[in-house]
């Protein structure tokens, strides 16, 4: 299959834009389109068409136990995909949608079982990206869309990342450049009391707690098959580069010490060490000796900036010859919690 590249500027996105019209037509006949959202690129299919959703699993090599998020663009679509909307969820959606928050709801009979991996709840979000919104409206159906990467790999924050993983496996990519948030949406089960944060992401725990009071963080139990978990995708090694990812304490001294030791060894073996480098953290003496591949990650503790650049950095460093990527671990506060989570899973 040839994958069609459909360039579009975010500011020009509306239902009549030729790229959107083309993409919508592909969706309507059961095809797959990668679309930008404000978090990461998603691989979209008509959520009401089980054969189309089946193709999403096949293209990504995603196991059938891992359910998909359904993307909507209006309140009407919410009542189509959910059988009921409790008031607490209504309230959350008013506060955070459109935006990077995914909420669990009771699945309606319209949503095929394959979308939710047979579970009674469906994960729903209303993306803020104008291209995603226009595509949903033009297609006229909710879109099931996981991140547009091969299963287990780093999520894509650009059309190039999507093509790297999925060129020839999907019908088209809407290319609107890099994404804003850079990590995936927060997944919240607010049907439970207290609400359970299944995946930290673009909406922070602190923002949720300001509305909900206490929010618990999900810790997947060990030794359980994915089918038995509250959110099956979250336990597996994930978001992972092919090089070995080594996490160090989030301070300059620990980072430099780890690099010094590793780079000496790498120089002897002719390999390279990749470094996710916070602004100003490298000494010239370390750079001059060779053996390092650097990615300028951004100002330490500015978690939003670091989140936007995380996956691009991991993909950039993950090239032939790079055996190990060294990365300082952010604090689990604000958006740092999502970074902490992704890096811990990638380093498993
Ligand atoms: O930002 C995002 O959420 C992106 C964009 C494209 O919207 N999507 C995304 O989808 O990251 P995906 O499939 O890569 O991650 C969805 C996560 C998975 O870990 C999955 O297990 C969980 O959400 N999930 C989906 N449906 C669920 C359900 N019904 N119950 C529990 N967890 C669910
Ligand atoms: Mg994913």
Q: What is the per-residue pLDDT across 151-198, written as a single tens digit (0 to 9) for each?
A: 989 999 999 999 999 999 999 999 999 999 999 999 999 999 999 999
Nearest atom, ligand 1, residue 181 CA: 1
CA nearest ligand 1 atom 12, residue: 146
pLDDT in tens, 137-160: 999 999 999 999 999 899 999 999
Residue 127 lies in a domain: yes
Domain containing 317 equals 244-346
Distance CA 215, CA 212 (A): 7
Residue 282 lies in a domain: yes
The rounded Å distance from CA 261 to ligand 2 centre is: 33
Nearest atom, ligand 1, residue 66 CA: 21
Q: Is the CB of 187 under 6 A from ligand 1?
A: yes
Decide: pTM greater than 0.85. Answer: yes
Residue 232 lies in a domain: no
**160 in the same domain as 276:** no
Which of helix, strand or coil describes residue 47? coil
Extended strands (E) in 291-336: 292-298, 322-328
pLDDT band at 288 (very low <50, low <70, confident <90, very high): confident
Task: Yes or no: say if 234 and 220 are a contact pair by the CB < 8 Å rule.
Answer: yes
Nearest atom, ligand 1, residue 121 CA: 29
**Residue from 161, 160, 212 nearest 186 by CA:** 212
The predicted structure's pLDDT at residue 195: 98
Q: Total structural domains in the chain? A: 2
Which of 125, 129, 184 for mutating ligand 1's site (highest number of atoms within 8 Å of CB)? 184
Residue 199 lies in a domain: no
Nearest atom, ligand 1, residue 117 CA: 29
The rounded Å distance from CA 146 to ligand 2 centre is: 6
**171 in the same domain as 24:** yes
3-state secondary structure 131-171: HHHHHHHHHCCCEECCECCCCCCCCCCCHHHHHHHHCCCCC
Distance CA 337, CA 218 (A): 13
**137 in the same domain as 28:** yes
| DSSP 8-state assignment for residue 38 | S
The rounded Å distance from CA 6 to ligand 1 centre is: 25
Q: Is the CB of 185 under 6 A from ligand 1?
A: yes
Task: Yes or no: say if 146 and 162 are a contact pair by the CB < 8 Å rule.
Answer: no
Q: Is the CB of 233 under 6 A from ligand 1?
A: yes
State which of 180, 200, 226 marks the end of a domain: 180
Which of helix, strand or coil describes residue 325? strand
> Nearest ligand, CA of residue 181?
1
pLDDT in tens, 50-83: 999 999 999 999 999 999 999 999 999 999 999 9
Q: What percentage of residues in the chain have a pLDDT greater than 90?
A: 88
Q: Is the CB of 39 under 6 A from ligand 1?
A: yes
Both structure tokens of 267: 């120089």
User: Within 10 Å of residue 186's Cβ, how many Cβ atoms?
Assistant: 27
Verify cis geometry, omega within 30 degrees of 0, for the bond prior to 98.
yes
Residue 136 lies in a domain: yes
Q: Which residues pair with 187 in a beta bridge?
A: 102, 199
């Amino acid at each position: 299959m040839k994958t069609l590249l459909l360039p579009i500027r975010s500011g020009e996105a509306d239902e009549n834009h030729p790229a959107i019209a083309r993409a919508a037509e592909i969706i309507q006949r059961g095809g797959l389109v990668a679309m930008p959202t404000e978090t990461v690129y998603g691989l979209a299919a008509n959520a009401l068409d089980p054969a189309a959703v089946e193709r999403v699993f096949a293209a990504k090599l995603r196991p059938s136990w891992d359910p998909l998020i359904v993307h909507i663009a209006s309140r009407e679509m919410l009542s189509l995909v959910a059988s009921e909307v409790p008031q607490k969820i209504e309230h959350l959606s008013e506060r955070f949608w459109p935006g990077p928050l995914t909420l669990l709801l009771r699945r309606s009979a319209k949503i095929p079982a394959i979308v939710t991996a047979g579970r009674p709840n469906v994960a729903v979000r209303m993306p803020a990206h104008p291209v995603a919104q226009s595509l949903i409206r033009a297609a006229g159906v909710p879109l099931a869309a996981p991140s547009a990467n091969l299963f287990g790999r780093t999520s894509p924050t650009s059309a190039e990342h999507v093509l790297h993983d999925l060129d020839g496996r999907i019908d088209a990519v809407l290319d609107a450049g890099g994404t804003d948030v850079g990590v995936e949406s927060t997944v919240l089960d607010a049907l439970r009391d207290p609400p359970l944060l299944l995946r930290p992401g673009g909406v922070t725990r602190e923002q949720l707690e300001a509305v909900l009071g206490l929010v618990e963080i999900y810790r997947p139990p060990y030794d359980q098959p994915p089918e038995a978990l509250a959110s099956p995708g979250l336990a597996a090694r994930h978001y992972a580069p092919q090089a070995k990812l080594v996490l160090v304490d989030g301070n300059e001294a620990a980072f430099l010490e780890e690099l010094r030791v590793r780079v000496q060894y790498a120089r002897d073996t002719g390999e390279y060490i990749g470094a996710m480098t916070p602004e100003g953290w490298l000494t010239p003496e370390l750079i001059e000796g060779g053996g390092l591949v650097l990615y300028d990650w951004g100002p330490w503790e500015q978690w939003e900036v670091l989140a936007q650049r995380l996956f691009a950095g991991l993909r950039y460093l993950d090239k032939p010859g790079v055996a190990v990527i060294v990365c300082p671990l952010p604090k689990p506060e604000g958006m740092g919690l999502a970074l902490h989570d992704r890096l811990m899973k990638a380093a498993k």
